[in-house]
Amino acid sequence: MITVQAKGGTVRGSGSIVSPTGLILTNAHVIEGARTIQIAFFDGRSATAALVAVHPTQDLALIRVNGNVGSLPALLFDIYEQKVGDDIVVIGNPTGRFRWTLTAGKISQFRGANLESAGRIYLQTDAAINPGNSGGPILSLRGSIVAVTTLKSDAEGIAFGISREIAQQFVNRYK
Q: Which of 14, 16, 19, 29 is catalytic?
A: 29
- Residues 68, 28: contact at Cβ < 8 Å? no
Q: Is 59 a catalytic residue?
A: yes
Q: Is 29 a catalytic residue?
A: yes
- Residues 137, 100: contact at Cβ < 8 Å? no
CA 56 – CA 79 distance, rounded (Å): 25
Look up residue 33 and give its amino acid.
Answer: G
Q: Is 163 a catalytic residue?
A: no
Q: Which of 16, 19, 134, 163 is catalytic?
A: 134
CA 145 – CA 71 distance, rounded (Å): 19
Q: Which of 16, 59, 86, 140 is catalytic?
A: 59
- Residues 133, 94: contact at Cβ < 8 Å? yes
Long-range contact list for 113-118, CB < 8 A, 24+ apart? none
Look up residue 115 and give its amino acid.
Answer: L
Residue positions annotated with a catalytic role: 29, 59, 134
